[in-house]
Structure 1
Amino acid sequence: MAALVAGCASNAESLAPASPTQPWTPGNTSGSSLLPSKGGQGSTGTDAQARDFSVLGNPAVADMPPPPQTQAGKVYQLPELIDIAARNNPTTRVAWEHARQSALAVGIAEATFLPSISANAVGGVQSTETPVQALGVQRYLDTTARGVTSSLAFQWLLFDFGQRSAVVDAAKQVSLAANVMFNASHQRLIFSVTQTYYQYGAARTRVDIAEQTLRNSRAIYAAAVQREKGGIGTTVEVAQARQQVAQSELRRVVAQGQEQDAYQALLGAMGVSPTLAIKVANAGNRRLPSAVNLPMDDMIKLALRRRPDVLASYATIKASEAGVDAAKADYLPKVFVAGGVATGSGSFNASGLPTIGQQTSATGVLVGATMPLFDGGVRSANLRAAQSRVSAAQDIFKKTQQDAVREMVVASNAVRSALQSYQAATRLTEAATITYDAALDAYRNGLGTITAATAADTGLLDARQARADAHMAALVAASNLAFVLGSMTSRDTPDLMLPR
């Protein structure tokens, strides 16, 4: 038997690939059996061209959840996209399951205050054959014993100097932290959808800019062709204009690809299928203020009171402190009561003799106390570990506070800087537009050069893209400020730092 067991254990290695350079093939073994396979160990050829590291497909993993129900032709605004994400994104459901598990842990801890009751039943039969010499003849004495015992026992810990209460308090604090982080997961989801929504809007604006630039380049090309026909232009100018058109077409293709990537990023943030086709409103024309004055000191104090990560970190401190109380209670005695009710029946039969039977019953109640005297330092180590967890939780809380305040200050500065950048980019776009129009008119009238016209076209493109990027950055910065302040709590407050 030992040899068989050892053989089965060593044979389990055949479930792994035969070598580090040869592909694993499912034909090597059958299921997860430890018994030797009748087949070979798969392909062990040395021809690299014959190696195929593909795996056998499993149809079960190809089942995709159905896409969310959407209305054909409807243009979805940001709040509606957030609603779809809240119903479909799996990250918030994972956070919900964690919160439920923490709540159940509270119930498990509270259940230790109740007695434990168990029912037991044991039955069996034993047969014995004993050789007996009688009058020179060997005979056999057959005996059979049967018995059944059933019992009902209970045990109740009456007093433990608050150890169970401390465990319950710790579980409640952990549950509180899990509930807070569940709300935090929705806040992160709202911010993620908001951020990718604005980034998608900026990508769409860049496509519009690329198309407008292509039209401008074609206008320059048309002017170059017209000048050549009039005898005042050259083929070099036409070639330069054609090159500018080709570059503008390339920019449009790149912008369209970036738009598709931004759309997929939005669907990913929402947690829906990447094949979902949905019309999204464009936030590229959202009005922005010239500046925002934020009372940061008051906002920081208010935000620290409602930031989920700060609250969860504080709950961790309280849970750790309760763990210290539970560890201290290990040094004190525990008082318990126990009892039981049991019945039993048995019979004994020997060949040639009458059967002997017996019925028994018993009841009892015990009250006792237990006091640990020596455990090799386990309780002391547990107490020091619990105290260490309190110190670590306090330091983490301080760091969480500091990080939160730093995020708020940085986010406020980002909003201010983004708005200033947007204003500067707006002025640059206005100037670049005037420059382009003047350069094109001058070139058409023979007073300018093709180089100046194409340079003005490129400058206008850069200015418009800078303005679109600054516009998106301001919206994202405002949303980020709302998020780090703990104010992004519903679909209607994704960017409450900016007026609508």
Structure 2
Amino acid sequence: MPLARTEAGHTAGRRLALAIVLGLGVSTPHAQTATWAASPAQGGSVIAQKTYSLPELIQLALAISPKNAEVQQQVTQADLAGDLVKSKYAPQVSLKALGGIEHTPLAIPQTVLPRGYFISSSREIFPTLELKWLLFDFGRRKSQVEEAAQNARAADFGLTAEQDRLIFDVSKAYFDATSSQGKVRAAEKALHAARLTEEAVTDQRSHGRATVVQVAQAHRQAAAAQLALTKTSGDAETAFATLVATVGLPPGSRFELLSPKDSGLDGEQSLQTLNALIDEAMQSRPDIQSAMSKIAAAQAKLDTAHAAYHPTISIQAQVLQNIGETSSDGSPYSSINRTGDSIFVAFELPLFDGGNRSTNVALAVSQKTQAEDALAATRNTVAQQVVESYNNLKTSLDNRREAVAYTKAAELAYQASLDSYRHGLSSVTDLTNDEAALAQAEANQEDADANVLVARAALALALGRRTAE
């Protein structure tokens, strides 16, 4: 019953978290349904006047993720397995009752009865209270408790690793979505610039200083900018849909995104040395901690297998009541209603078991070796991930620095070209080229900003750090 309540509580909690964050109506006496507006352009639902930051989306994803809930149940099961093993330290008490009718032929000397037997008939009930208590097992239960505790620790670290992965997935989808929205803004600026160019060329044409061909080129550039905006808007919708799916929200959910902070986009000086980062990952990565706990659990299982070669000492006691009556060869029944009891100290040492204990030891040794090999492989993978994410972050920071410089230069070049063209000092070809270069530079900077943020999130994941919570 407690487990059923726990499972129901988790499900209700996930639904409540989803309802609260989405602004949906919650089934309470005072709940009111939130206002939803249809989006004609997207065909989805829009959450009125609601903007979400990355930490809010991460908390929502953690609350409603089925995979996260599944791993949480694994943690619960590992904890319950530990409680189950600990119960072996307690005495086992049971109540039994045996009742029935019995007719038994019994031998008797023919000097007493010529036919040599008589029939004993009885009608009895034996209610019994039994006690079994294992006193000494030379470390079996202790090792089993240790194994269960280490398995529970491994499950806890596994939950942390799953949550870290989900945090990274949501962070990456969020940065991709905000970057796509930034590209839309850049495309809108490019379209605005193209229209300014179009107006300038048209104005020059009206004064006889531009040709029909130049006007047509300006129109073509504006049309190309409009097409680029349409494509960029479609890419932004795709990125937003990916974010919605990654968080675990219903398809068609609509809400605004709070732009990520610019902190950390600059400042490569904050990076530690690569060796220091690898050392940090070896100490803090949950998958490494989980692998180490699995080794400890395998060692405890090996200790349990060795302890099986030692004897066990236990107490077995019972209190019974004999309620019944008996008769011999049809004689009148004699009744009884008396209490009996017994207590024994049991010593048990298996001498031959067909190789069961030796096989268990060999199996435990193999499992421990496997766990040690898994830890070594995990450490190699972690080191590789840290090196890769570290190099990606350094490259992303370098690319962003160059992208910022290029964007500033492109902005200056375009403004100068536009002013020069208005005064008849440059050609429309130069102006449109500078305009296209500025649009590309701004789009590249949005990519560079997102790449830095994603690279930082990837490095945090590789180091086992929690971010954006």
**TM range, smaller chain:** 0.7 to 0.9
Q: Establish whether residue 302 from structure 1 lines up as the match of residue 254 from structure 2.
A: no
The aligned length equals 412
Q: State how far apart, in whole Å, the 1-side matches of 2:304 and 2:100 are.
A: 44
Q: Is the 8 A contact 1:191 1:488 kept in 2?
A: no
Classify 1:232/1:302 alpha carbon distance in 2 versus 1 (closer, same or farther; 3 Å).
closer
Q: What aligned pairs does 1:13-412 form with structure 2 within 5 A after superposition?
A: 66-69=18-21, 73=49, 75-124=51-100, 147-231=124-208, 233-283=210-260, 288-289=265-266, 291-292=268-269, 293-346=271-324, 357-359=335-337, 361-412=339-390
SS of alignment partner, residue 68 of structure 1? helix
- TM-score computed with the length of structure 1 as normaliser: 0.72
Classify 1:466/1:117 alpha carbon distance in 2 versus 1 (closer, same or farther; 3 Å).
same
Q: State how far apart, in whole Å, the 1-side matches of 2:256 and 2:467 are.
A: 25
Give a deviation string over 1:84-114, Cα, whole Å, max 9, x none. Answer: 4444444444333322221111111111122
Q: Tell me by how many angstroms 1:118 deviates.
A: 1.4
Q: Is the 8 A contact 1:284 1:471 kept in 2?
A: no
Name stretches of at least 5 consecutive residues in structure 2 with no aligned partner.
1-13, 24-47, 104-120
Deviates more, 1:190-199 or 1:446-455: 446-455
Give a deviation string over 1:314-369, Cα, whole Å, max 9, x none. Answer: 1111111111111112222222221222224345799x996665445432222222
Classify 1:441/1:224 alpha carbon distance in 2 versus 1 (closer, same or farther; 3 Å).
same
2:414 to 424, 429, 436: 436
Q: State how far apart, in whole Å, the 2-side matches of 1:287 and 1:393 are.
A: 38
Name stretches of at least 5 consecutive residues in structure 1 with no aligned partner.
1-62, 128-143, 492-500
Classify 1:126/1:457 alpha carbon distance in 2 versus 1 (closer, same or farther; 3 Å).
farther
- TM-score computed with the length of structure 2 as normaliser: 0.77
SS of alignment partner, residue 472 of structure 1? helix
Q: State how far apart, in whole Å, the 2-side matches of 1:264 and 1:358 are.
A: 82
Q: Tell me by how many angstroms 1:429 deviates.
A: 2.0
Give a deviation string over 1:118-167, Cα, whole Å, max 9, x none. Answer: 1122445799xxxxxxxxxxxxxxxx985433222222222222111111
The alignment-based identity, stated in percent, is 30
Classify 1:440/1:485 alpha carbon distance in 2 versus 1 (closer, same or farther; 3 Å).
same
Residue 19 of structure 2 aligns with an amino acid whose one-letter code is: P
Q: Tell me by how many angstroms 1:484 deviates.
A: 2.0
Q: State how far apart, in whole Å, the 2-side matches of 1:86 and 1:274 are.
A: 18
Classify 1:333/1:349 alpha carbon distance in 2 versus 1 (closer, same or farther; 3 Å).
closer
RMSD over aligned Cα atoms? 3.3
Deviates more, 1:160-169 or 1:475-484: 475-484
SS of alignment partner, residue 67 of structure 1? helix
Greater helix proportion: 2
Residue 96 of structure 1 aligns with an amino acid whose one-letter code is: Q
1:468 to 446, 453, 468: 446
Residue 74 of structure 2 aligns with an amino acid whose one-letter code is: H
Q: State how far apart, in whole Å, the 2-side matches of 1:94 and 1:191 are.
A: 19
Residue 172 of structure 2 aligns with an amino acid whose one-letter code is: Q
Q: Is the 8 A contact 1:68 1:272 kept in 2?
A: no
